[in-house]
């Protein structure tokens, strides 16, 4: 363990991080958002999931510094009478969770399929890459819209509301695996030619072990770069789907569904219902993208193009 | 290339300005455009709004819920079964054909074929032609609502719809899901003709030169109707001057619109009641009138009106709105949490229970938000609500299954009369007669059924009113359902478009009489 | 080449078949289309009659078989709401969506290439830094937020541009265009900008990084050594090779753009296919939903095939029929 820590401490990654102000700032903002949102049950002033704690008479209160504000609700309340601050904390947690797990799913899928395609080659490779082509030619958002509309319809809205978070993770996760598969496959093809792979094969290690223990670590840096960008993309996709009413339900809102529910009030002067979640969403996605940019510059991996 | 484009654009711009100076065009945005040009295809607010533009009824509602002569100049009750109408002479259809009693008879027969209208016209036995400009409308039993129904008779041009169309189908064919001649061609006596129609995108109406009503003050030559479904976009279109007149106006935007100096807002109390039905067949608890009362007392419907509806609704304690014969003036909203808790205790449910509830999320104004507010209010008397909201297309099949313990239903009386509410919402469900078709609460009280049936043949206004008021009082006392509010109506237009005189509580703006500065 | 096209066509057919089967199998769950067709007080018996007439009570396989038989003849059924062939309704809205995509594509083309090239050539200039900063912010703002902000700023606050719809349109044959009138062009501006907002920064960054990579290549160094003029090197040799991968990405992105038209059209009430699709989902207009999915599937297949063909023409090392080797 300590060995890895030393490796990490002396790495070029950390060195460059220490010298890049944008990266440091982005990372701290991201860390702050993650910490705050995941401790929301502890720090949020209200519980937005508890109907008994919500009073309709408190709805639509502007932020507390405005004339009609209420000191209980720092950032005001939404149309249901929920405290904006608490709802946003919980909503950010949902958005981050969906983004993280969707990317986890797509990376696991993509890495396994990419390894298989690259290592075994032949028909498996041809089939998997063709599948990836077809899947990529339909855009993720399109697939997600259709699949979610279908599921929402066939589950009925009631069941869908309970399953929404899993459905979003599944749909966004499955739709984007080719991104990983192609990159991993390309690296595998490059690595396979190298002598060390032949060497371990001569020792008699199984192919699974060769792939996971020897080839995979060499593909980590492109995966890391893709993952960062993909988390940002997944959060954006989720927001877009929620905006169309296909994402998280109103009683368990993500940032996207909060923006959606505020959209009808934006002209009526209740700007805070849309503006605050929108700002958080943009900041969240922006810092992740900035980190991704920085990682790309530092690691400079060979990403799959074409 | 760029120069040519700019020049062309300037010419076009110039053209449109000169054209605008001569003719008055109203740019109108509703939430939807008419689904068809056939007035008998669907009974809906949108179709009636359309009918009042292209057709004329025999009589129409005035602002005070009275009747105003249109194609019928006068009427007289001959006996309890018969009403005689004298038709207007010298009226021409838009096709040029003259209007006469034959057209009214033809229209009446067609109405009785229409799936949507045949129910409303069931009490009528026949329509008889006395001479070319006189008809008798005969009912099976004495019927008090003959004039109410006459507002639905928009005479169609029987000669225009005679014969077959290019596909060999009769031009008069009335079919819901087919491309019929009548659904794409119209000839009525109304103030406007359909000049161009692109379904779902826009409809252009042109003032009919031969319109019979020379006294109508209306001076709008062209109306361009654009459906804008998203409420914020509709409001944005009005505020940015892209359209002149919008309806409906979303409650959230009312303050902003009323503050805007360039825009006029007209609103009035509506007649659509929003209620919750408590299913006593699914839940034994809800059979107990005390539990039902507790629920009514626990729901702060005035709060819902104030906060969710932005005062753009009238909190109610009964079905019939003001102006209806069954309206009982002294029934007031009953929010009282203490009393609600006491009633729950009396009924032995102090610890509460769990129920399921369903509501649509795109049918009534703020329906899902109202349902959520109700759920959180009921949690205060320890009733845990499992709430599901869904799009209307999925909600109605669920409603037919009576799939939840509490269901939301809004109702607009097609007859503009009190009895209609009870017939559909609170009479004992009976598949043969169709009564109680929308009574998902299964509330059933034989005494109320008897009173309503009696009112149907009662032509004495005062007696009928007393009966219907008694029904409202009984429903109120037994908490047969949870009354929430009547949705208000609102229209907004830019200054200079005088919408106030032409809008009404039925929400059919009489655009033929609209005056623009 | 022929084999390649046949293969693609076969794939397309399989995809269409799967789409139609899926959308058909879920139609019962989408809700009841009759409620949108009938008034509130129509009795249950009346509704059953209509349902029988429309064949909605038949067993699933019978309905699907009927659909397939008609579909092979190009008839995808009648839209319940429009009462006309679903394909005809979709194709009427097709020009609106395409003009929106075209508007956005033009914006992307005319901005991303000059900006991307400039940023690659002058990596240290302040303009490049501003552009790179702005592009990463641009990538991070969702399309629907951009759209709302544009309406708020340009339509409501400033009152310069219309907020919804297509404005005045003219018919050229079957194609309804908004691009010939001033009113139509003005209406096109905000939606196109909103739609391009997500792709533009992506393309600027893509072109910049590709161009920088190309400028590092040996043949460019040789070109410098040979003493070719700057302009010739940048705009002839480097740009040509930069645009190659951009074409591929661009092809895939047209698909993405069509998906984003659903968002843009919803906010701007743009009467195109995406808007129609969401309306159809709300109205449970199954024939229309199926027709939309099939049309979009065809568009995806065609753009991808065309991109592959172009790529094959520009870069002869790619063998078409064999796919990736």
Say which range, A114-118, B53-57, B502-506, C211-215, has the weakest mean pLDDT: C211-215
Distances (CA, A) of B331 to B307, B319, B334, B344, B463: 22, 11, 9, 22, 20
Nearest-CA distance C156 → chain B (Å): 5
Q: Which residues of C touch A153 (CB under 8 A)?
A: 26, 29-31
Tell me the shortest Cα–Cα distance from C56 to chain B, in angstroms: 12
CA C195, C198, C204, C206 torsion-angle sign = negative
Q: Which two tokens stand for residue C308?
A: 């592959």
Q: pTM for this structure?
A: 0.78
CATH of domain B59-150: 3.90.76.10
- Answer yes or no: is pLDDT of B13 > 50: no
Looking at residues A147-152, what average pLDDT do you find? 72
- Among residues B343, B324, B323, B321, which one has the least CA distance to residue B334? B343
Tokens standing for residue B133:
């400009």
Cβ contacts of B372 on chain A, cutoff 8 Å = 51, 80, 250-251
Please report the residues numbered 350 through 389 in chain B whose beta carbons come closer than 8 angstroms to any beta carbon of chain A: 358, 368-369, 372-373, 375-377, 379-380, 385, 387-389
pLDDT of B23 reads 79
Rounded to a whole number of angstroms, the distance from the CA of A101 to the nearest CA of chain C is: 20
Domain extents for chain A? 60-299
Measure the CA–CA gap between C296 and C298, rounded to whole angstroms. Answer: 5
pLDDT of residue C31: 65
* pLDDT tops 70 at residue C30: no
Please give the residue range of the domain that contains residue C214: 86-314
Judge whether C185 lies within some domain. yes
Higher pLDDT, C16 or B91: B91
Is the pLDDT score of B71 beyond 90? yes
pLDDT the model gives residue B401: 83
Residues 39-78 of C with CB under 8 A from A: none
Q: Give the DSSP letter of residue C164.
A: S
Give chain B positions within 8 Å (CB) of C159: 240-241
Q: Are strands B515-516 and B497-498 parallel, antiparallel or unpaired?
A: antiparallel
pLDDT interval class at C314 (50, 70, 90): low
Interface of A with B (CB under 8 A): 51-52, 54-57, 59-60, 79-81, 153, 156-158, 161, 250-251, 263-270
- Cβ partners under 8 Å of residue A208, min gap 6: none
Query: What's the structural domain count of chain C?
Result: 1
3-state SS assignment for residue C109: helix
Q: Could you tell me the pLDDT band of residue B46, with boundaries at 50, 70 and 90?
A: confident
| pLDDT at C39 (0 to 100) | 66
| Other residues' Cβ atoms within 10 Å of the Cβ of residue C243 | 17
**Residue B94 reports pLDDT greater than 50:** yes
Q: What is the DSSP string of B148-165?
A: HHHTT-----TTTT-SB-
pLDDT 10s digits, A10-43? 676 777 777 788 888 999 999 999 999 998 888 8
Mean pLDDT of the region A59-78: 81
Chain A: partners with 3+ C-beta pairs within 8 Å: B, C
Max mean pLDDT among A90-94, B361-365, C134-138, C157-161 falls in: A90-94
- What pLDDT is recorded for position C284? 75
8 Å CB contact between A98 and A165: yes
Q: Is residue C34, in this structure, part of any structural domain at all?
A: no
Among partner residues C22, C29, C259, which is closest to A139 by beta-carbon distance?
C259
Asked if residue C28 has pLDDT above 70, the reply is no
Residues in B touching C158 (Cβ below 8 Å):
none
To the nearest whole Å, the CA of C154 is away from the closest chain B CA by: 9
Pick among A114, A137, A273, A288 to test the C interface (most C CBs inside 10 A): A137
pLDDT band of residue C317 (cuts 50, 70, 90) is low
- Quickly count: other Cβ atoms within 10 Å of residue A4's Cβ: 8
The most confident of the ranges A140-154, C35-49, C142-156 is: C142-156
B490 touches A at CB < 8 Å = no
Which pLDDT tens digit goes with each residue over B31-40? 888 888 999 9
* Selected residue with higher pLDDT from C119 and A197: C119
The pLDDT tens digits of the residues spanning B434-479 come to 788 889 999 999 999 999 999 988 888 899 999 999 999 999 999 9
Q: Do A142 and C258 touch (CB under 8 A)?
A: yes
**Which residues on chain A are in Cβ contact (under 8 Å) with C263?**
240, 243-244
Name the more confident of B455 and A130: B455
**Beta carbons of C259 and A305 less than 8 Å apart:** no
Residue A136 confidence (pLDDT) above 80: no
Helix (H, G, I), strand (E, B), or coil: what is residue A33?
helix
Nearest residue of chain B to residue C283 (CA atoms): B393
Task: Please name the helix (run of DSSP H) or strand (run of DSSP E) that holds residue B212, with its range, or none.
Answer: none
Helices (H) and strands (E) in chain A, counts: 13, 0
| Statement: residue C319 has pLDDT above 60 | no
% of residues, chain C, pLDDT over 70: 91
Averaged pLDDT, C32-60: 74
Task: Choose the closest CB to B199 out of C44, C82, C165.
Answer: C82
What CATH number did the domain enclosing C225 receive?
Answer: 1.10.3720.10
- Chain B positions touching C36 (Cβ under 8 A) are 393
Partner residue opposite C35 with nearest CB, options B180, B362, B396: B396
Given pLDDT bands bounded at 50, 70 and 90, which one contains residue A154? Answer: low
Residue of A nearest to C24 (CA): A150
A155 has pLDDT over 70: no
Residues of A in contact with C301 (CB under 8 A): 137
**C50 in a structural domain:** no
Give the per-residue pLDDT at B253: 82
Q: How far is C274 from chain B (nearest CA, A)?
A: 13
- Checking if the pLDDT of C322 tops 50, the result is no
Encode pLDDT of A235-288 as tens digits: 988 888 888 777 787 778 888 888 888 877 776 677 888 889 999 999 999 999
C172 bridge partner residues = C175
Q: Cβ contact (<8 Å) for C26 and A153?
A: yes
CATH number of A60-299: 1.10.3720.10
pLDDT of residue A262: 80
CB-CB contact of A56 with B373 (8 Å):
yes
The residue among A146, A230, A246 with the most chain C CBs within 10 A of its CB, best to mutate, is A146
Tell me how many residue pairs between chain A and chain C have CB atoms under 8 A apart: 97
From C267, C269, C284, residue closest to B393, measured CB to CB: C284
Distance from the A96 Cα atom to the nearest Cα atom in chain C, whole angstroms:
15
Cα distance from A299 to chain B (closest Cα, Å)?
46
Do residues A291 and A33 lie in contact, with contact meaning Cβ atoms separated by under 8 Å?
A: no
CA distance A238 to A140: 11
* C3 HSE (CA, 13 A, CB side): 5
Helix (H, G, I), strand (E, B), or coil: what is residue C255? helix
- B502 burial (CB, 10 Å; 0-12 / 13-18 / 19+) is buried
Q: A89-93, C111-115, C158-162 — which is least confidently predicted?
A: C158-162
Identify the chains in contact with C, defined as 3+ C-beta pairs within 8 A.
Answer: A, B
Tens of pLDDT, residue by residue over C247-284, are 777 777 777 788 888 888 988 888 899 888 888 877 77
Phi, psi of B258, rounded to the nearest 5 degrees = -70, -20
> Is the peptide bond preceding residue B248 cis, with omega within 30 degrees of 0?
yes
Name the residue with higher pLDDT: C180 or B21.
Answer: C180
Find the CB nearest C148 among A139, A142, A266: A266
Share of chain A above pLDDT 90, in %: 16
d(CA A10, CA B479): 75
Q: What is the pLDDT of residue B178?
A: 76
Specify whether the CB–CB gap between C284 and A153 falls below 8 A: no
A129/C142 Cβ within 8 A: no
Average per-residue pLDDT for chain C: 80
Average pLDDT over residues B107-135: 90
The verdict on A32 touching C (C-beta cutoff 8 Å) is no
Place of tokens 């699907």: C64
Q: Is the pLDDT of residue B16 over 50?
A: no
The answer to whether the CB atoms of A145 and C259 lie below 8 A apart is yes
Nearest residue on chain C to B361, alpha-carbon basis:
C282
Q: Which two tokens stand for residue B490?
A: 């609102």
The mean per-residue pLDDT over the stretch C42-48 comes to 75
Any domain includes C56: no
Whether A224 has its CB under 8 Å from any CB of chain C: the answer is no
Question: What does CATH list as the number for B2-33+200-262+495-516?
Answer: 3.40.190.10
| Residue B19 pLDDT | 46
For residue range C159-186, what is the model confidence (pLDDT) as tens digits? 788 878 887 777 777 787 877 788 888 8
Q: Does domain B269-488 match CATH 3.40.50.300?
A: no
Q: Residue B339: what pLDDT?
A: 94
Residues in A touching C286 (Cβ below 8 Å): none
Q: Which conformational region is residue B45 in: left (phi greater than 0), alpha (psi within -120 to 50 degrees), or beta?
A: alpha
Q: Which is nearest to C262 in space by CA: C302, C293, C227?
A: C293
Nearest CA in chain B to C89: B199
Q: Kindly report the nearest CA distance between residue C322 and chain A, in angstroms.
A: 10
Please tell me which residue of chain A has the smallest CA distance to B403. A158
Counting residues of chain C whose pLDDT is more than 90, the rounded percentage is 5
* Distances A65 to A48, A61, B17, C256, C278 between C-alpha atoms, Å: 22, 11, 48, 42, 40
pLDDT at B14: 43
């Amino acid at each position: 363990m300590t060995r890895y820590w030393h490796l990490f401490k002396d790495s070029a990654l950390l060195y460059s991080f220490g010298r890049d102000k944008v990266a440091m700032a982005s990372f701290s903002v991201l860390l702050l958002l993650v910490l705050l949102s995941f401790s929301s049950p502890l720090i949020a002033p209200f519980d937005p999931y508890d109907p008994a704690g919500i009073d309709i008479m408190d709805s639509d209160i502007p932020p507390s510094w405005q004339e009609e504000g209420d000191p209980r609700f720092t950032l005001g309340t939404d149309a249901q009478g929920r405290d904006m601050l608490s709802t946003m904390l919980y909503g950010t947690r949902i958005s981050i969770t969906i983004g993280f797990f969707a990317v986890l799913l797509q990376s696991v899928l993509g890495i396994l399929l990419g390894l298989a395609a690259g290592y075994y080659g032949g028909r498996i490779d041809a089939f998997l890459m063709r599948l990836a082509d077809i899947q990529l030619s339909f855009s993720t958002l399109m697939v997600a819209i259709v699949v979610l509309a279908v599921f929402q319809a066939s589950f009925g809205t009631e069941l869908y509301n309970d399953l929404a978070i899993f459905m979003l993770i599944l749909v966004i996760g499955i739709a984007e695996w080719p991104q990983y598969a192609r990159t991993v496959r390309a690296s595998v093809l490059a690595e396979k030619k190298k002598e060390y792979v032949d060497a371990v094969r001569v020792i008699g290690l199984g192919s699974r072990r060769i792939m996971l223990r020897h080839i995979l670590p060499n593909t980590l840096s492109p995966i890391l770069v893709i993952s960062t960008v993909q988390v940002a993309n997944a959060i954006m996709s989720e927001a877009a789907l929620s905006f169309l009413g296909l994402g998280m339900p109103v009683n368990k809102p993500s940032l996207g569904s909060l923006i959606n529910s505020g959209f009808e009030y934006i002209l009526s002067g209740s700007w805070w219902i849309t503006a605050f979640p929108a700002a958080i969403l943009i900041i969240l996605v922006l810092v992740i993208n900035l980190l991704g940019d920085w990682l790309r510059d530092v690691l400079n991996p060979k990403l799959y193009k074409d | 290339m760029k120069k040519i484009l700019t020049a062309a654009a300037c010419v076009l711009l110039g053209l449109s300005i000169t054209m605008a100076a001569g003719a008055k065009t109203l740019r109108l945005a509703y939430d939807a455009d008419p689904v068809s040009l056939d007035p008998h295809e669907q009974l809906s607010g949108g179709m009636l709004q359309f009918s009042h533009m292209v057709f004329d009824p025999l009589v129409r509602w005035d602002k005070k819920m009275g009747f105003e002569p249109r194609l019928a100049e006068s009427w007289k009750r001959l006996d309890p079964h018969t009403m005689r109408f004298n038709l207007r002479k010298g009226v021409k259809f838009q096709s040029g054909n003259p209007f006469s009693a034959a057209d009214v008879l033809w229209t009446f027969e067609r109405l009785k074929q229409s799936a949507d209208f045949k129910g409303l016209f069931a009490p009528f036995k026949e329509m008889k032609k006395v001479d070319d400009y006189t008809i008798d409308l005969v009912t099976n039993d004495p019927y008090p609502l003959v004039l109410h129904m006459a507002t639905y008779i928009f005479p169609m041009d029987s000669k225009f719809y005679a014969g077959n169309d290019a596909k060999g189908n009769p031009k008069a064919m009335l079919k819901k899901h087919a491309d019929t001649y009548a659904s794409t061609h119209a000839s009525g006596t109304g103030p406007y003709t359909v000049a161009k129609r692109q379904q779902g995108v826009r409809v252009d109406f042109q003032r009919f030169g031969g319109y019979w009503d020379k006294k109508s003050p209306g001076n709008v030559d062209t109306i361009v109707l654009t459906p804008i479904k998203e409420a914020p976009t509709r409001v944005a279109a009005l505020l940015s001057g892209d359209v002149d007149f919008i309806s409906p106006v979303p409650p959230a935007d009312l303050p902003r619109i009323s503050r805007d100096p360039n825009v006029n807002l007209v609103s009035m109390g509506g007649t659509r009641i929003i209620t919750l039905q408590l299913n006593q067949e699914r839940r034994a608890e809800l059979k107990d009138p005390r539990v039902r009362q507790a629920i009514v007392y626990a729901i702060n419907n005035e709060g819902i009106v104030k906060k969710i509806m932005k005062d753009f609704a009238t909190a109610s304690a009964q079905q019939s709105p003001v102006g209806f014969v069954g309206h009982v003036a002294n029934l007031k909203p009953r929010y009282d949490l203490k009393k609600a808790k006491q009633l729950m205790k009396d009924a032995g449910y102090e610890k509460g229970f769990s129920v399921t509830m369903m509501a649509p999320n795109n049918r009534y104004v703020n329906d899902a938000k109202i349902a959520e507010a109700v759920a959180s209010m009921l949690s205060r008397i320890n009733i845990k609500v499992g709430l599901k909201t869904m799009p209307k297309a999925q909600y109605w099949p669920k409603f037919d299954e009576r799939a939840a313990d509490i269901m939301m239903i809004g109702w607009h009386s097609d007859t503009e009369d009190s009895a209609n509410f009870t017939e559909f919402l609170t009479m004992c469900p009976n598949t043969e007669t169709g009564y109680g078709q929308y009574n998902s609460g299964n509330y059933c009280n034989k005494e109320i059924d008897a009173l309503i049936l009696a009112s149907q043949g009662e032509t004495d206004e005062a007696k009928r009113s007393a009966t219907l008021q008694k029904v409202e009082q009984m429903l109120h006392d037994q908490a047969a359902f949870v009354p929430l509010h009547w949705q208000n109506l609102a229209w907004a237009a830019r200054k200079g478009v005088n919408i106030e005189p032409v809008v009404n509580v039925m929400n059919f703006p009489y655009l033929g009489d609209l005056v623009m500065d | 080449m022929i084999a390649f096209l046949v293969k693609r066509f076969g794939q397309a057919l399989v995809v269409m078949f799967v789409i139609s089967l899926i959308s058909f199998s879920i139609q019962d769950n989408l809700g009841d289309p009759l409620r949108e067709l009938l008034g509130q007080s129509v009795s249950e018996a009346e509704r059953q009659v209509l349902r029988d007439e429309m064949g909605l009570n038949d067993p699933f396989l019978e309905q699907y078989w009927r659909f397939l038989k008609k579909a092979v003849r190009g008839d995808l059924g009648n839209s319940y709401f429009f009462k006309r062939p679903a394909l005809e309704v979709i194709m009427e809205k097709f020009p609106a969506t395409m003009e929106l995509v075209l508007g956005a594509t033009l914006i992307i083309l005319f901005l991303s290439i000059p900006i991307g090239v400039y940023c690659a050539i002058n990596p240290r200039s302040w303009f490049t830094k501003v552009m790179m900063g702005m592009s990463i912010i641009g990538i991070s703002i969702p399309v629907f937020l951009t759209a709302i902000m544009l309406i708020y700023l340009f339509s409501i606050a400033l009152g310069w541009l219309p907020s919804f719809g297509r404005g005045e349109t003219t018919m050229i044959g079957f194609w309804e265009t908004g691009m010939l009138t001033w009113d139509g062009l003005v209406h096109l501006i905000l939606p196109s900008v909103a739609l391009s907002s997500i792709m533009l920064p992506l393309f600027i960054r893509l072109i910049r990084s590709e161009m920088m990579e190309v400028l590092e290549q040996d043949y460019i160094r040789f070109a410098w050594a040979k003493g070719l003029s700057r302009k010739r090197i940048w705009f002839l040799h480097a740009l040509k090779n930069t645009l190659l991968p951009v074409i591929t990405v661009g092809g895939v992105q047209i698909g993405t753009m069509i998906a984003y038209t659903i968002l843009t059209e919803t906010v701007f009430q743009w009467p195109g296919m995406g808007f129609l699709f969401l309306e159809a989902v709300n109205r449970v207009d199954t024939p229309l939903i199926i027709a939309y999915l099939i049309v979009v599937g065809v568009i995806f297949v065609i753009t991808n095939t065309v991109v592959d063909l172009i790529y094959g023409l520009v870069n002869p090392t790619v063998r078409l029929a064999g796919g990736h080797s």
